[in-house]
Amino acid sequence: MPWTALQRLPRVPDLVLAAAAALAFTSCSHDPAEREYMSALHGEETGMGRKEQLARLDRAIALQPRRSWYRETHAIYSIDQRQFDRAAADLDTAIQLADRPYLHFLRAMVRCERGAYEASLPDFDHAIKEQPDNAQFYRGRSLALSRVGRFDDALADADRLVAMAPMQAEGHYARGVALSGLARWPEAVDAFDESIRLRPDLVYAWRERAAAFAMLGDSVRAQSDHQEVAKKSEESVAAISEDPFRY
């Protein structure tokens, strides 16, 4: 059953709520900016393509530059295009217009995509302080902490995420990454096993498990995982299956 445009867009309820608020705020039929915005959203169902969707959002922003949800959607579509500089600029403006914890999380993820892991941490910290029950925030911060070598802190975040959302494969993956950083290889393999069991499409989990097997001297299983990575990489897999920092 196909998702609606509003369901597919964010993978987080915040943007859906923002879109609903936009509809309540103004009538699309009398608001040119909102017509462009809604047209971009409905492009999810019509096969419009990201380039045209971004163009429509550009027009919406030009007409109503202070509507933060336009900037947020533009940022998300820019991330899909790997235009991280544009996404970062959109999020800076969105935060100035209507600060929300999720915007800080998303900006932190974009900073990680640009390799600025240390710089991402204040945004993750802010998001978690303001909304400590949002599990996805801990995933991002755990991965960023591992990238800067703070593996004990990364493991604490991953453990909390797994406790909050035990069926979320990404949490077990983050836990495996932290355990690998601590050279606790058997435990890391167990964590990656669970991640792969829950989400066998996560290419990055197979890749990290292969590295853990190699560190344990198990070349047979390491090679098997490398072959699975190569196989999946040849298939048409979603970006979020390839990239652990995708929102």
* pLDDT score of 234: 79
Q: How far apart are CA 134 and CA 2, in angstroms?
A: 26
Q: How far apart are CA 215 and CA 123, in angstroms?
A: 33
List the one residue out of 108, 95, 188, 182 whose CA is nearest residue 144: 108
User: Under a CB-based contact definition with an 8 Å cutoff, are residues 127 and 101 in contact?
Assistant: yes
* pLDDT score of 2: 32
List the one residue out of 120, 117, 118 whose CA is nearest residue 91: 120
* pLDDT score of 177: 98
List the one residue out of 100, 84, 110, 117 whose CA is nearest residue 18: 100
Residue ranges of the chain whose pLDDT lies below 70: 1-29, 236-237, 247
List the one residue out of 146, 136, 207, 204 whose CA is nearest residue 171: 136
Q: How do residues 129-180 score in pLDDT, each as one tens digit?
A: 999 999 999 999 999 999 999 999 999 999 999 999 999 999 999 999 999 9
* pLDDT score of 235: 76
List the one residue out of 124, 103, 86 whose CA is nearest residue 18: 103
User: Under a CB-based contact definition with an 8 Å cutoff, are residues 172 and 192 in contact?
Assistant: yes
- Distance set, CA 198 to CA 47, 155, 205 (Å): 30, 19, 11
Taking the CA of residue 167 as centre, how many other CA atoms within 13 Å lie in the half-sphere pointing to its CB? 0
Q: How far apart are CA 90 and CA 198, in angstroms?
A: 33
* pLDDT score of 13: 43
* pLDDT score of 236: 59
* pLDDT score of 20: 46
114 C-beta neighbours (distance < 10 Å), count: 15
Report H helices in the chain: 5-8, 13-25, 32-46, 50-63, 68-80, 84-97, 101-113, 117-130, 135-147, 151-164, 169-181, 185-198, 203-215, 219-234, 239-242
* pLDDT score of 1: 30
